[in-house]
Homo-oligomer: A and B are copies of this chain.
Amino acid sequence: MTQTRCITLSSRPKGSPVSENFKLEERVLPAPGAGEFLVRIIWLSLDPYMRGRMDDVKSYAPPVAIGGVMEGGAVGEVIESNHDEFGVGEIVTGQFGWTSHALSIGEGVRKVDPSVAPISTALGVLGMPGITAWVGLNEIAGAKQGETIVVSAATGAVGGMVCQLAKAKGMRVIGVAGGAEKCAFAVEHLGADACLDHRAHHAKSLAIEIKEAAPDGVDVYFDNVGGKTLEAVLTRMNVGGRIAVCGAISWYSGQGISEAQPLPAVWRNILTRRLRVQGFIIFDHFHLMGQFQREVGPLVCSGAIKVRESVAEGLEQAPEAFMAMLKGGNFGKQLVRVGPDR
C-alpha cells in the first residue's frame, strides 16, 4: 500500500476555473497486482487541453468525473513492478494524472532515456507539445522553406517549438505573444524574425502589425489561440494558405461563446472534430475541364443528370433576375435568354 496525494475535480468551472474547482486529497493505493507497476511522479505537465476535460461536454475525450483525479501527462520513476517491460528504477512517461504516485499496466506508457536530455523534456519539446508542433507544421500545414508563418502563443510549449522548427526549416517566422518580455524572448531565443504583443492590440491594429512584419503575406498560420489573433491573421493570409488549428485557448473558458457570436463554437468544432475546411474558387481548377466533360457530358446526354433552369426573358430582365436570385428566388440554374437560338 502507498499513501498518495492527488488533485481531484471537485466541481465544474463556470467560465475560468477557480481554486474551489480543485481538491487536494490523500488516497491509498494498493500494492501493484500482476502485470502492474507503481510510478513515483517527478514531473507533472500542465496543458491547456485540460480545461476542456473539466467541462461536461462531448469532445475528443471524455470529461474528468466529479471527484476524479485530474488528467495529465507526467514523468516518473518506476519504484515497484510486476511488469515484464517496465523495471524498477526506469524513468517513464504516461497519462498518470495530477498525483504523486500512480499504478499502471503500461498502456500509453513510454520509457524516457535520461541520457538524451533532461527527463522533463519528455513533457515538453520531446513530448506531446513537441510532437504537436512537429506534426502541425509538417503533416497538417505542409509548411515549406521560404514561406512565412505566424505562430500564436509563440513562447508556449507548442508555439515555442513551432517557432524553432519553422526557423530551422528556413521559414520567415512571426510570433504573437502576450507582453514585451515574451516577445523579446521569441526573437532572441526562439528564432522569430518578429514577435507581436497581442496585449497591445485589437484585431485591426494587430493586422496592420502583421502586414509590416510579413510584407509578402502569410502562408501558414499555426493557431493556438483563436480570438482576435485569428481574425487579424486571416486578413493577411496568402491565396492557398494553410491554417493548422491546434488550440483555441482564448475561448476555452467559454468567453464569447453565444448564439449571437458563433465563431468560437465554429472554430471549436473544427478543432475537436479534426475537420478539414477548404475554400476553393473554380477558376483555379479549369485545367480539369476536359476530364469533367468526358465524365459528365454522357450523363447529361443520357438524361441521368437532370437539368433544371430558371429563365428570364430578355437582357433587360437580367438585373431583376439577379436580385431575386440572391434572395433564393430562382429555382435551378438562373439564365437570361438574350437572343433567339438560331
Chain B residues within 8 Å of A124, by CB: 307, 309, 332-333, 335
Q: Which residue of B lies closest to A23 (CB)?
A: B319
Chain B residues within 8 Å of A260, by CB: 261
The smallest beta-carbon distance between A266 and chain B, in angstroms, is 6
Determine if A42 and B337 form an interchain contact, defined as CB atoms under 8 angstroms apart.
yes
Can you list 16 A-B pairs with a CB-CB distance of less than 8 A? A44-B318, A47-B334, A76-B338, A99-B315, A118-B307, A125-B300, A125-B307, A125-B333, A131-B289, A139-B280, A141-B278, A164-B306, A179-B328, A241-B273, A245-B278, A270-B279
Determine if B129 and A316 form an interchain contact, defined as CB atoms under 8 angstroms apart.
no
Determine if A18 and B323 form an interchain contact, defined as CB atoms under 8 angstroms apart.
yes
Chain multiplicity (copies): 2
Q: Does A1 contact B (CB under 8 A)?
A: no
Closest 6 CB pairs of A and B: A124-B333, A157-B333, A22-B319, A44-B336, A271-B279, A277-B277
Complex CA–CA separation, A100 to B312 (angstroms): 14
Q: Which residue of B lies closest to A128 (CB)?
A: B282
Chain B residues within 8 Å of A266, by CB: 230-231, 234, 263
**Chain A 254-283, CB within 8 Å of chain B: the 1/0 string?**
000001111101100111111111111111
Complex CA–CA separation, A118 to B128 (angstroms): 59
Q: Does A3 contact B (CB under 8 A)?
A: no
Determine if B40 and A339 form an interchain contact, defined as CB atoms under 8 angstroms apart.
yes
The smallest beta-carbon distance between A61 and chain B, in angstroms, is 8
The smallest beta-carbon distance between A255 and chain B, in angstroms, is 11
Determine if B121 and A307 form an interchain contact, defined as CB atoms under 8 angstroms apart.
yes
